Amino acid sequence: MNKFITLEGIEGVGKTSNLRYIKELLEESGHNCVLTREPGGTNLGESLRGLLLSHSDENMSADTELLMMFAARAEHLSKIILPALKNGQTVLCDRFTEATYAYQGGGRQLDVDKISELEDWVQGDLRPDLTVILDAPVEIGRARAGKRSEPDRIEKEQDDFFQRVREAYIELANRYPQRICLVDASLTLAEVQQQIHAKLVEYDILNA
Ligand code: T5A
């Protein structure tokens, strides 16, 4: 019953809004879920998240950003994700390594081979059983996210950055269709949830 499921997408596409929905669906079908997020999920990871998203280091180098994402991930894997999976629980994670390929690879244009080496080092063979990418045009995500608080250090990037992030996500879904899928997040919340439900069935996470 233990599955590792991650939810991805550019800012404001609706990850937070849909995580609870996915958790409910999984729990109705008997999964014992752990809901967590990246960067974060542990005390140290949440501290790193604060540093990564705050405006105190606007000029942080892209390599530093990449290494901090993986430092937080190493801690998250060892303290939360791996113990939960070992314990038979399903881990539902708001962003994971696909975000690194999208933001640091696509957005910051870092060499994806570096990301891939870190992924292999930190995760070994572990990859999510299913990654759902909520896909919507940048202007839709920005309009939805803009209704909330002040933008953080990454949210304040320009549209071309988020366009590259979006394209990198689409490329990942095309490259690994056996474990990564796209959902059209530009539709109403009810329509997005219908698609998510269908994907969970299609990828054998839920029964039809
Ligand atoms: N990051 C992370 C990296 O650069 N590399 C990495 O390796 C990792 C792991 C983390 C940041 O870190 C970066 C990426 C991020 O910049 P985050 O906490 O994941 O940040 O935060 P955001 O992506 O900023 O998440 P948001 O909370 O901004 O967006 P969500 O969760 O996608 O959107 P949500 O659910 O809050 O929805 C936004 C608004 O839209 C409405 C909601 O009600 C809400 O008001 N909404 C809809 N409205 C209409 N129709 C729909 N279908 C809607 N769905 C939601």
Q: What are the pLDDT digits (tens) for 148-199?
A: 678 899 999 999 999 999 999 999 999 999 999 999 999 999 999 999 999 9
CATH superfamily of 4-202: P-loop containing nucleotide triphosphate hydrolases (3.40.50.300)
Ligand 1 and 103: CB distance under 6 A: yes
Give the contacts of 147 (CB within 8 A, at least 6 positions apart).
Answer: none
Q: Mean pLDDT by 10-residue block, N- to C-terminus, for the chain (208 residues)?
A: 94 94 97 98 98 90 98 98 98 98 98 98 98 98 82 92 98 98 98 98 93
Amino acid 115 reads I
Q: Model-level pTM? A: 0.97
Ligand 1 and 62: CB distance under 6 A: no
Ligand 1 and 51: CB distance under 6 A: no
Cis peptide, bond prior to residue 39, ω within 30 of zero: yes
* Spans of all domains in the chain: 4-202
Cα dist from 168 to 9, 56, 71, 137, 177, whole Å: 10, 28, 22, 13, 14
Nearest to 113 by CA among 66, 145, 81: 66
Pocket test for ligand 1, best of 6, 7, 15 (most atoms within 8 A of CB): 15
- What does the alpha-carbon distance between residue 66 and residue 112 come to, in Å, rounded to a whole number? 11
Residue with tokens 């599955």: 3
